[in-house]
């Protein structure tokens, strides 16, 4: 679909299926403040707009960081290739630009008030559920993003969300389509299967010298030891500078007065309710019966029966019923209007009349009221002072790290500088790209800085979380393919593994041939070959089969990265990548 849209980016008049994925680029893709002519080079043009090399590099780098944070040490170059991340990032950038141009064509815009509401509702900019201008500015500063730049990019995402909403609302789905979709989602199959696992083969297989040599010659690259480096580094931690900064009374006052909303708490109630559900389209007879039921329960409450007990017995709000109807504390704006107006008119311990909302009939009891209050500056003083002290310490920490780099730029005497300034120098073991010392999570960034250095060089300080790091390259070992003698045991283990897998496949093929040839029934062959039939149930639309693993479509997606790339692949490529024969590969192509 998006391939078609790319070709028709100027006059997109197509029906888009439900479920367009709107990409959120803010923070995830980041921003760049260093540009060169090469970085401004266009790698894709959509209409009159260009996607630059630097935009792509930034998006790709942060995509890697995103997946690395998910998969940790399991994330590898092989996964990057199988997922097709390089192509995916480019396709995502192109897709987003196409959608933005369509939003332009349709005149999709975001009024300033809508933008303001979106920002103040962002949890990252809130404290205790309330927007804080100071936190907003601090978060943006920590990412090196100007407010205008952030708001410009946020506006794009809101426009994309609005475009999606317009498209989804325009789609008409028939009852038959809904039934078909439901059937596809819920249709189940139950199967029996045999597992032929190489791990169950306990034979002590031998490996000849000739087999070792042939295997080594064919698989040298798999044994390659990657390039490694060793570094010395200093970590500048803001906490170490907190005792060296001062916070004045004037600064505390200015901070307090600039963010008064943070210290204001609205009136809140703690209440319980009993809900008698009622459909909005209920006939009068049903309405009267439900209201009468609620009134009867209210009468029992007024005679002194336990609210908690009756809530557990009658309330159809299951979540609160289990807690005796308790809703916890809430402020105005948290509940629907009729409920809120009734609750805020009650006194502690007072019961409401039976009231109606879109959900049905309610009985409410208020248990506790917390009046609105504002925390005084004196009450907030210690917390503000600590926050300002931490802010100043972060600034001093960054300055000290930069000063250290400037002083060490020529003489490179990291140990001498550390000793004279009371700092601790640490030395790593040799490590490959993508790793970092324990306690420093930014493995990609640490490796990038270390591997860019020549032995003896020092890299400019860089930020890891709120700390700053200064590194010096001590040594570098080039990538090397070890001699056969050095990996003999490892190679022999791989050969044995292959042999066992081949034997398992041969046995599976033998059983399959017997079944297809009518040489025995499923149970008879299971008894004859001492096989245990495993069982599994799965849905048609599921991604995996319990006990077996990902479905073929999911496996293909991991291999090729996207449905479009599977469609574009040749029959031979599909067959080679998945082990299917040509006929199976052709069926997959037809299906997609």
- In the predicted structure, residue 269 carries a pLDDT above the cut 80: yes
- In the predicted structure, residue 152 carries a pLDDT above the cut 70: yes
The four Cα atoms 160, 162, 167, 170 give a dihedral, to 10 degrees, of -170
299: confidence class by pLDDT, cuts 50, 70, 90: very high
Between 467 and 552, whose confidence is greater?
A: 467
551: confidence class by pLDDT, cuts 50, 70, 90: low
Return the CATH number of 267-371, one of 3.30.70.100, 3.90.420.10, 3.40.50.620, 3.10.50.40.
Answer: 3.10.50.40
User: What's the average model confidence in pLDDT over 551-564?
Assistant: 58
Q: How far apart are CA 25 and CA 157, in angstroms?
A: 8
The domain ranges of the chain are: 2-171, 190-198+484-591, 228-255+377-477, 267-371
Mean pLDDT in the chain?
83
Between 441 and 577, whose confidence is greater?
A: 441
- In the predicted structure, residue 249 carries a pLDDT above the cut 90: yes
pLDDT for position 557: 58
pLDDT for position 316: 93
- In the predicted structure, residue 66 carries a pLDDT above the cut 70: yes
User: What's the average model confidence in pLDDT over 13-37?
Assistant: 33
Domains 2-171 and 267-371 share a fold: no
Between 184 and 359, whose confidence is greater?
A: 359
The DSSP result for 251-284, as a single string, is HHHHHHHHTGGGGEE--EEEEEEEEEE--TT--H
CA distance to 73, 172, 432, 467, 536, per residue, from 443 (Å) = 10, 48, 10, 14, 40
Whether pTM exceeds 0.75: no
Return the CATH number of 2-171, one of 3.30.2020.30, 2.60.120.20, 1.20.58.1030, 1.10.4030.10.
Answer: 1.10.4030.10
Angle at 218 between CA 216 and CA 223, to 5 degrees: 55
- In the predicted structure, residue 348 carries a pLDDT above the cut 80: yes
pLDDT for position 326: 94
Between 252 and 38, whose confidence is greater?
A: 252
464: confidence class by pLDDT, cuts 50, 70, 90: confident
pLDDT for position 17: 29
- Residues pairing with 369 in the sheet: 269
The DSSP result for 27-60, as a single string, is TTT-------TTTT-EEEEETTEEEEHHHHHHHH
Percent residues over pLDDT 70 in the chain? 84
């Amino acid at each position: 679909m998006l391939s078609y849209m790319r070709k028709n980016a100027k006059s997109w008049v197509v029906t888009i299926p439900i479920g367009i994925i709107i990409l959120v680029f803010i923070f995830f893709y980041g921003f760049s403040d260093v540009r060169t002519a090469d970085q401004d080079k266009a790698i894709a043009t959509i209409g009159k707009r260009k996607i630059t090399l630097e935009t792509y590099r930034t998006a790709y780098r942060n995509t890697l960081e995103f997946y690395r944070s998910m998969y940790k040490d399991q994330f590898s170059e092989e996964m990057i290739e199988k997922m097709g991340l390089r192509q995916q990032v480019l396709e995502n950038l192109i897709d987003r630009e196409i959608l933005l141009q369509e939003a332009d064509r349709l005149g999709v815009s975001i009024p300033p008030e809508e933008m303001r509401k979106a920002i103040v509702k962002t949890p990252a900019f809130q404290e205790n559920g309330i927007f804080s201008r100071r936190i907003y500015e601090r978060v943006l500063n920590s990412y090196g993003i100007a407010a205008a730049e952030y708001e410009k990019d946020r506006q794009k995402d809101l426009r994309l969300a609005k475009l999606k909403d317009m498209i989804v609302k325009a789609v008409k789905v028939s009852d038959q389509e809904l039934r078909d979709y439901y059937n596809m989602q819920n249709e189940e199959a139950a199967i029996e299967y045999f597992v032929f696992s190489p791990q169950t083969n306990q034979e002590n297989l031998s490996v000849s010298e000739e087999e070792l040599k042939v295997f080594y010659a064919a698989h040298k690259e798999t044994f390659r030891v990657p390039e490694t480096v060793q570094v010395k580094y200093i970590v500048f931690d803001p906490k170490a500078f907190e005792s060296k900064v001062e916070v004045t009374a004037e600064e505390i006052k200015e901070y307090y007065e600039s963010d008064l909303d943070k210290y204001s708490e609205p009136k809140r109630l703690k209440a319980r309710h009993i809900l008698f559900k009622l459909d909005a389209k209920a006939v009068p007879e049903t309405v009267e019966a439900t209201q009468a039921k609620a009134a009867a329960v209210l009468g029992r409450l007024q005679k002194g029966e336990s609210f908690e007990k009756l809530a557990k017995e009658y309330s159809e709000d299951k979540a609160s019923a289990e807690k005796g109807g308790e809703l916890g504390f809430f402020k105005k704006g948290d509940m629907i209007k009729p409920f809120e107006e009734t609750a805020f008119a009650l006194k502690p311990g007072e019961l409401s009349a039976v009231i109606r909302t879109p959900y049905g009939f309610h009985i409410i009891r208020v248990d506790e009221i917390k009046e609105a209050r504002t925390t005084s500056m004196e009450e907030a003083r210690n917390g503000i002072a600590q926050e300002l002290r931490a802010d100043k310490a972060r600034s001093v920490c960054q300055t000290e790290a930069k000063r250290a780099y400037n002083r060490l730029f020529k003489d490179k005497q990291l140990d001498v500088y550390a000793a004279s300034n009371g700092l601790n120098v640490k030395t790593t073991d040799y490590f490959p790209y993508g790793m970092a010392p324990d306690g420093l999570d930014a493995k990609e960034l640490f490796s990038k800085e270390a591997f860019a250095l020549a032995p003896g060089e020092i890299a400019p300080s860089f930020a890891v979380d709120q700390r700053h790091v200064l590194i010096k390259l001590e040594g570098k070992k080039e990538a090397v393919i070890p001699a056969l003698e050095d990996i003999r045991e490892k190679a022999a283990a791989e050969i044995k593994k292959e042999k066992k897998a081949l034997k398992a496949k041969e046995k599976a093929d033998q059983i399959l041939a017997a079944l297809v040839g009518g040489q025995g029934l499923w149970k008879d062959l299971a008894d004859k070959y001492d096989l245990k039939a495993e069982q599994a149930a799965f849905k048609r639309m599921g991604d995996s089969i319990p006990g077996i693993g990902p479905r073929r479509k999911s496996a293909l997606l991991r291999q090729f990265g996207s449905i479009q790339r599977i469609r574009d692949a040749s029959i031979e490529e599909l067959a080679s990548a998945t082990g299917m024969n040509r006929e199976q590969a052709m069926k997959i192509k037809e299906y997609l």
